[in-house]
Amino acid sequence: MSLAQIEYFVAVSETGHVGRAAEALRIAQPAVSRQIRNLEDELGARLFVRSARGMQLSEAGDVFLEHARAILAQIDDARRAVQARGRRSGEP
């Protein structure tokens, strides 16, 4: 599991399409498709139901989405907190 995979997953969840997500992320579709598949393989669960019109969250995917957003938010918090503290007392 990588942060990129989590970001890709959230993008696909929000757009409902691998293609739209890839466009928003400024990368090509296959990269997104592969990472989603890798993530599903690692977790041992299908996160999306594939249909001919796009990607719909499965139950497991729905559960994961909340956690994924929390993780990304926490990463952001961490970055902000350490940068604020780092500037105050840190480097030359």
Give the footprint of a second copy on this chain (CB under 8 A): 1-3, 43-47, 58-61, 63-64, 67-68, 70-71, 74-75, 77-79, 81-83, 85-87, 89-91
In 3D, which of 67, 39, 79, 27 has the Cα closest to residue 48? Answer: 39
In sequence order, the 6+-apart residues with CB closer than 8 A to the CB of 18 are 12, 29, 32, 33, 36, 54, 55
Q: Does 67 bind DNA (CB under 7 A)?
A: no
Residue 55 CA to residue 63 CA, distance in Å, equals: 16
Considering only 20-28, 63-71, 80-88, which stretch makes contact with DNA by CB under 7 A? 20-28
Binding site for DNA (CB under 7 A): 2, 4, 17-19, 26-31, 33-38, 50-55
